């Protein structure tokens, strides 16, 4: 049994355009003082999730979250092709920003508008884009807290035993940031390249929905989508970011959106990440 909305619910409240140029990179806030980064909490109509990565195009700067963060179905409604969602234009609160962002893309809405019939896409394409208010762009840094990176967009292949890194920010952790950095392994691929099943220490919990995953080289590979109760208990389903972005580019006006690399080097050391070193 898989629960996607469970990951976005906490005690009853649910929680690339052009390549980055040196001129654009210089506009990012310093990583040490930025308040809007990958891993911050987002709130959509009260639903809490964790943002994954920063994206941009000629029209703005965006932060990613899971599509189901704005879903209106039940906790076990995981099919994006037939589950309701809040509309495009819905305001999204972003921790660290002074103004709400705006939901501008949701893969579930895009698939329903297209009449998508691919069962793998329907089950695993779980990505949304929130435009950051221009007044808050100066507060943004694209680096993943504690780990640095991402170093680029990774591939869709999921090798058994591949190492992965993530940063969750569920309020269930009560603000204990030492519990946010996670390291784990891929235990199986799923959905013909649309998803990976992973085990991490600690596992993703309610409120971690949408958080980003990087591979052993710091490349962004996925977004946290589901908590699996069976057949692999306490594992997480991680939607494939490359497929999610390709789908968005082909089926929306955001064909030019690109992942923004971190300004901080990738540091794949879980102990140092926990200690904040």
Tell me the pLDDT tens digit for each residue of 234-275: 788 999 999 999 999 999 999 999 999 999 999 998 888 888
Residue at token pair 């049994």: 1
pLDDT of residue 16: 33
Instruction: Give the pLDDT band of residue 228 (cuts 50, 70, 90).
Output: low
Helix, strand, or coil (residue 154): coil
pLDDT of residue 191: 93
**The pairing of beta strand 91-94 with beta strand 47-50:** unpaired
Residue 196 forms part of a structural domain? no
Q: Mean pLDDT lowest for which of 36-40, 187-191, 260-264?
A: 187-191
Please indicate whether residue 229 or residue 85 has the higher confidence score (pLDDT).
85
Cβ within 8 Å of residue 91, ≥6 positions away: 100, 101, 102, 103
Cβ within 8 Å of residue 272, ≥6 positions away: none
Residue 222 forms part of a structural domain? no
Instruction: Give the pLDDT band of residue 78 (cuts 50, 70, 90).
Output: confident
Percent of the chain with pLDDT over 70: 82
Residue 219 forms part of a structural domain? no
Residue 276 forms part of a structural domain? no
Residue 249 forms part of a structural domain? no
Retrieve residue 74's tokens: 């039940």
Residue 38 forms part of a structural domain? yes
pLDDT tens profile 86-136: 999 999 999 999 999 999 999 999 999 999 999 999 999 999 999 999 999
Instruction: Give the pLDDT band of residue 194 (cuts 50, 70, 90).
Output: very high
Q: In total, how many domains does the chain have?
A: 1
Residue 102 forms part of a structural domain? yes
Write out the residue range of the structural domain in which residue 114 sits.
2-139
Please state the pTM of the whole predicted model: 0.88
- Distance of alpha carbon 163 from alpha carbon 174, whole angstroms: 27
Residue 168 forms part of a structural domain? no
């Amino acid at each position: 049994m898989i629960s996607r909305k469970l990951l976005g619910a906490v005690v009853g409240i649910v929680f690339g355009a052009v390549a980055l140029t040196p001129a654009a990179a210089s506009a990012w806030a310093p990583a040490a003082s930025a308040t809007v980064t990958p891993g911050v909490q987002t709130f959509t109509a009260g639903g809490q999730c964790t943002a994954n990565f920063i994206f941009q195009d000629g029209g703005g700067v965006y932060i990613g979250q899971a599509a189901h963060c704005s879903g209106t179905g039940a906790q076990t409604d995981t099919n994006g092709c037939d589950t309701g969602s809040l509309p495009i234009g819905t305001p999204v609160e972003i921790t660290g920003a002074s103004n709400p962002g705006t939901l501008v893309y949701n893969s579930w809405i895009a698939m329903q508008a297209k009449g998508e019939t691919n069962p793998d896409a329907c089950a695993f394409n779980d990505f949304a884009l929130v435009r950051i208010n221009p007044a808050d762009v100066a507060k943004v840094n694209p680096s993943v807290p504690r780990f640095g990176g991402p170093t680029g967009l990774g591939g869709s292949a999921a090798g058994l035993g591949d190492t992965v890194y993530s940063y969750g920010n569920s309020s269930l952790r009560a603000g204990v940031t030492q519990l946010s950095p996670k390291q784990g392994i891929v235990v199986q691929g799923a959905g013909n390249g649309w998803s990976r099943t992973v085990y991490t220490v600690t596992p993703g919990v309610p409120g971690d929905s949408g958080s980003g995953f990087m591979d052993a080289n710091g490349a962004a590979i996925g977004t946290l989508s589901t908590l699996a109760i069976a057949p692999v208990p306490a594992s997480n389903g991680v939607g494939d970011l490359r497929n999610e972005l390709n789908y968005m580019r082909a089926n929306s006006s955001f064909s030019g959106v690109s992942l923004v690399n971190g300004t901080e080097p990738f540091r794949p050391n879980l102990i140092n990440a926990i200690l904040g070193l």
